[in-house]
Amino acid sequence: MSDDTFEPKIVGFMCNWCSYRAADLAGSARIKYPPNVRIIRLMCSGRIDPAFVLKALSLGADGVMLAGCHPGECHYVDQNYKAMRRYYMLKHTLKSLGIEPERVQLVWASAAEGQHLAEAIEKLVADVKKLGPLRWPSNWKDNEDRLEALESIVKEHEEALEVES
């Protein structure tokens, strides 16, 4: 499945206070890690809606990284615990959709742990490389039933958006 030239596309959701700053620190310290993770900043890992992850995978991401402050160190008291709960539920869902749960990884990194975050990114990229491309969008075409089921998830959220704006 995997070949040497495969460069996974990964989306990383990071909280403003710890993990995003850990990524900043990794930069300031010139720690090198694979350039596969495109980082999206959120205020808190508690903001990570499982739909974000599904959206990313459904658009063609091969993996997703979720990162927050360490348990007990959340800038918003304990919202990262809620992120953690959602993460485990999401893993369950992914499994039932036939997606390897290793493609989505949750990492705790404090603002001082640039090295730790870089290592976690390295690991995620290596894991996803081993699994090969996800090809969710093109797999849809091969499996119409599933396509419907998945599109309905996305649609549901888009409907929700309409109300919002």
Partner 1 sequence: MAERIGIYVCHCGSNIAGTVDVEEVARWAGKNIDDVIVAKDYKFMCSSLGQAMIEEDIKKEGLTRVVVAACSPHLHEKTFRRACENAGLNPYLFQMTNLREHVSWVCNDKVKGTAKAKAMVAASAERVKYQQPLTPMYVDVNPATLVVGGGIAGLQAALELADAGYKVYLVEREPSVGGHMAQFDKTFPTLDCSACILTPKMSEAGQHENITLLTYSELEEVSGSVGNFKVKIRKKARYVDYDKCTGCGICSEKCPRKIVDEGFEAGLGTRKAIYTPFPQAVPRVPVIDTENCTYFTRGKCQVCSKVCPTEAIDYEQKDEMVEIEVGNIILATGWKLFDCKKIPQYGYGRLANVFTNMEFERLCNAAGPTNGKIVMRDGKTEPKSIAIIHCVGSRDVNFNEGCSAVCCMAALKLGHLILEKTKAEVYSFYIDMRTNQKMYEEFYQRLLHEGMHFVRGKVAEVTDAARNPNEQGKLIVQCEDTLLGKQRRIPVDMVVLMGAIEPQADAKELGLKCGISCSMAGWYTERHPKLDPVATMTDGVFVAGTCQGAKDIPASVAQGAAAAARVQGMITKGKVMIEPIVATINEEACSGCRICNNLCPYNAIEYLEDKGVSRVITALCKGCGTCVAACPAGVISASHFNNQQVFAEIEGALWDAIAECREPETV
Binding site for partner 1 (CB under 8 A): 7, 9, 11, 17-18, 20-21, 23-28, 30-33, 35-36, 38-44, 46-52, 55-56, 59-61, 69, 72-73, 75-79, 82-83, 86, 110-113, 118, 135, 137-138, 157, 159-161, 163-165
With respect to partner 1, which residue has the nearer C-beta, 7 or 102?
Answer: 7
Say how far apart CA 104 and CA 93 lie, in whole Å. Answer: 12
**Least separation in angstroms between CB 138 and partner 1:** 5
- How near is the Cβ of 56 to partner 1 at its closest, in Å? 5
CB of 25 to partner 1, least distance (A): 8
CB-nearer residue toward partner 1: 97 or 154: 154
Q: Which is nearer to partner 1, 30 or 152 (CB)?
A: 30
Judged by beta carbon, residue 76 or residue 100, the one nearer partner 1 is 76
CB of 157 to partner 1, least distance (A): 6
Tell how far CA 45 is from the center of its chain: 11
- β-bridge mates for residue 12, sequence order: 39, 65
**Nearer Cβ to partner 1, position 1 or 163?**
163
The helix/strand/coil state of 8 is: coil
Query: At its nearest, how many Å lie between partner 1 and the CB of residue 114?
Result: 9
Q: How far apart are CA 48 and CA 67, in angstroms?
A: 10
Question: What span, in angstroms and rounded, lies between the C-alpha atoms of 15 and 22?
Answer: 10
Asked if 98 and 45 count as a contact pair (C-beta separation under 8 A), the reply is no
Residue 108, φ and ψ in degrees, nearest 5: -100, 130
Q: Rounded distance, CA 68 to CA 84, Å?
A: 9
DSSP letter string over 134-156? --HHHHHHH-HHHHHHHHHHHHH
